[in-house]
Amino acid sequence: MDRRRPPSYAVLVSNNAGPYALTEEHEAIREAVREIAEREVAPFAAEVDADSRFPAEAQKALTAAGFHATHIPEAYGGEGADAIATCIVIEEVARVDASASLIPAVNKLGSIPIILSGSEDLKQRVLPSIADGRSMISYGLSEREAGSDAAAMRTRARADGDVWVLDGTKAWITNAGISDWYTVMAVTDPAKGARGISAFVVHRDDPGFAVGPKERKMGIKGSPTCELYFTDCTIPADRIIGEPGTGFGTALRTLDFTRPTIGAQAVGIAQGALDAAVAYTRERRQFGSAVSDFQGVQFMLADMEMRIEAARHLVYVAAARGDAGGADLTRVSASAKAFASDVAMQVTTDAVQLFGGAGYTQDFPVERMMRDAKITQIYEGTNQVQRMVIARSLLR
């Protein structure tokens, strides 16, 4: 594969979404993660996909290097990395295996509600075990009949003395069964609609909690996706995140901070596909010449590169905006996620085309990358929903 690195950005980029600059530390993180990804993750990626098994090798390597949950603040034993650094980690892992990139990505998704709204006691109870790699955490918002319309959820939670009791089902939960902790949204006051939804932290050992069978998926097969079942699931009263009724707001704020990580995953998948396509077209010969000598192929490669670079910039802008704050964070994050994931789908499709018949086989990684890319257009809000979010922000 072509091992070229994305260029080092020495300039400060600024627009109405706020400035960002890649530092020497960011570039050092990229180099370190890429080395680990190519040595410890890439050799198992095809097997992980074929066997639909969790990438334990990647988990071990990323945890040993401190790249499994870089976003957790130092106060809770974490690295305290900024959002761009976390995006770089996810991007570089996704470049070789999208399933493995969901280890740092979902650790952030599951823990951000606690970081944003949890009590200090709850943070101290949950975050250190994620920071040191003893535990992982997942995020439970969606249900079969409450996907894009998440506020229509039916999972309920009722107070009973010094405990909360949860009943219901959550669907499409990433890394379910692997994680020990789960951030779960449930209705506590049905009469209040979205303002009657609260957020809770559930542990895998809590009575009444169970994980369903793995979904049979098109892509990211190494990351288990399952339902969560709550049957009179009893948790301590102090495991509520924030005040009752604030859960849906916390869920939406969480997505503002995590949608750029899906954009980063998409950029990584696309970069991996481009690298593979460049290497293959240099080696493949037709009509007495390398396929890469043909102008039509060169134009395809050039378009792929331009789109990836544009997506990478937008993802980093959104990540930096999350750290800086601002009224337009929701719009910029939605833009980064939608644009980058659309780019990933287009780039991986073109990569398969450039490989020809070989690209349609499992002998090369681009067919896996194409399947993996598709989910980035769907989860954490479909790209149709992202466009609604963007338009409403502009028109408000």
- Cα separation, 98 vs 149, in Å, equals 26
Task: Give me 243's structure tokens.
Answer: 């005040």
Amino acid at 58: A
Bridge partner residues of 146 (DSSP) = 143
CA distance 250 to 114: 9
Q: Which of 143, 227, 367, 380 is catalytic?
A: 380
Judged on CB neighbours under 10 Å (0-12, 13-18, 19+), 395 is: exposed
* Residue 175, SS3 per DSSP: coil
For residue 109, give the DSSP letter: H
Structure tokens at 229: 């079942």
In residues, how long is the chain?
396
CA distances for 46 relative to 54, 166, 368, angstroms: 12, 39, 8
Reduce the DSSP state of residue 370 to 3 states and report it.
helix
Q: Is 380 a catalytic residue?
A: yes
143, HSE (Cβ side, Cα atoms, 13 Å):
20
Closest CA to 48 of 4, 98, 105: 98
**Catalytic residue IDs:** 380
